[in-house]
A = this chain, B = another copy of it.
Amino acid sequence: MTKPASNLQIDSSRLWDTIHTTAQFGATPKGGVRRLTLGPEDKQVRDWFRAACENAGLDVQVDGLGNMFALRRGRDMSKPPLGLGSHLDTQPTGGKFDGILGTLAALEVIRTLNDAGIETELPLCVTNWTNEEGSRYAPAMMGSAAFVGDFTVDDILGRKDAAGISVAEALDSIGYRGDLPVGAQPFSGFLELHIEQGPILEAEGKTIGVVENGQGVLWYDGRITGFESHAGSTPMNLRRDALATLSEIVLAIEAIAVELGNAVGTVGEAVIASPSRNVIPGEIAFTIDARSADAAILAQLDERIRAAAAGIAAKRKVEVTLDLVWRKEPTHFDKTLVGAVESAANALGYANRRITSGAGHDACNLNAKVPTAMIFVPCKDGVSHNELEDATQTDCASGANVLLHTVLSLAGVAK
């Protein structure tokens, strides 16, 4: 026996148009988006999103860190809503799908239910989490991390960007410090659709990734203090070169991640103090990002990266400090919700596989407090955090359909 809503499909063209409408806010020449959290372009997209939610009949609330919650009433308002969404901020040279697809597909699910006149048993709540990217403010996934209590609100409000502007000041400057207490919005479950940001689904010809796990993450701030001296007259054996030291550290991290397997390690930022072409670099600030889906490997990454840095520092007679600014253990998503995603993908006939998320997501934070699952769709060449990030209209629509039918199965539809 078929449920009344079993053939329902989202409107692929409307979803695609919506994605391209929001891509105008911070559009870059190469077709990407630069929409740093809490900046003017983020305000533009937030204003647009609030209006679109209100037009769809949702009641929008904003919490004290700018997280946005758009509620659709359910038949049983005594139950917490089922959450669905992602984020609308981007990397400095980001794409138009990362986060955005998940938030706008959630809106598309609501629009589709509205058009079909379907009321769900549970209320639904479309969310936009603040500062998922972490480019302007650390930590990444800031809004959802504070939501689940990993950080206090005061701690987060006081964080500053490179220009010295605090999160509190940035929120106030765009008018998105809301009244809702952070963490107060209840959820009965949470679903996030996202592009894979990796190459696996595309390589295997799958349409849907049923996300089982998320990688654990280590973030370090590093500093190397060698000694500045003349590049022409300082013999090679008397140098204390900060950049040569960093070079060994970068290659050591690469080798450690390869050797451990099921791990990645990256130095993403490195700034030489007072650089000059004929001066040996004396001081460098840098960052490390290391990840694994396996808790034991994550612990080994931490140990071996620290040991490598210390050994290189001793050999080169320079000082190296590593400050662990964020550590997150691997995520294991809720088995029931993961099963619901898989059933929806199978029912819709989409080729799918279980997968681990290489990137961190708001859903990984949410999972600590709320049963959570994620849905992945392929992205071109596995590329993300890049203006060339791309996904097909068909894959985006397929992901949104899996989101729709997972929602229908979890939130309950009237017979």
Contacts and interface: CB of A to CB of B under 8 A. Distances in A.
Interface stretch (A175-183, A266-274, A333-341): A266-274
A343 interface: no
Given A269-B272, A277-B134, A280-B266, A250 B257 contact: no
B289 A231 contact: yes
A244 B264 CA distance: 13
Interface string A358-393: 111000000000000000000000111110000000
A398 interface: no
Interface in A106-131: none
Contacts of A92: 274, 276
Contacts of A358: 230, 232-235
Contacts of A257: 236
A244 B254 contact: yes
A276 B359 CA distance: 14
A217 interface: yes
B267 A243 contact: yes
Kindly name the residue among A91, A219, A275, A281 whose own CB sees the greatest number of chain B CB atoms within 10 A. A275
Interface in A219-249: 219, 227-238, 241, 243-244, 246-248
A199 interface: yes
Kindly name the residue among A199, A265, A383, A385 whose own CB sees the greatest number of chain B CB atoms within 10 A. A385
Nearest to A265: B236
Contacts of A382: 229, 233-234, 238
Copies of the protein in its oligomer? 2
A386 B227 contact: yes
A228 B269 CA distance: 12
A93 to B, nearest CB: 5
A198 interface: yes
A7 interface: no
Given A248-B251, A269-B272, A289 B282 contact: no
Interface of A: 91-93, 133-135, 138, 140, 196-199, 215, 217, 219, 227-238, 241, 243-244, 246-248, 250-251, 254, 257-258, 263-272, 274-282, 287, 289, 291, 357-360, 382-386
9 contacts: A230-B385, A231-B264, A231-B291, A232-B357, A233-B357, A236-B264, A243-B267, A268-B277, A278-B359
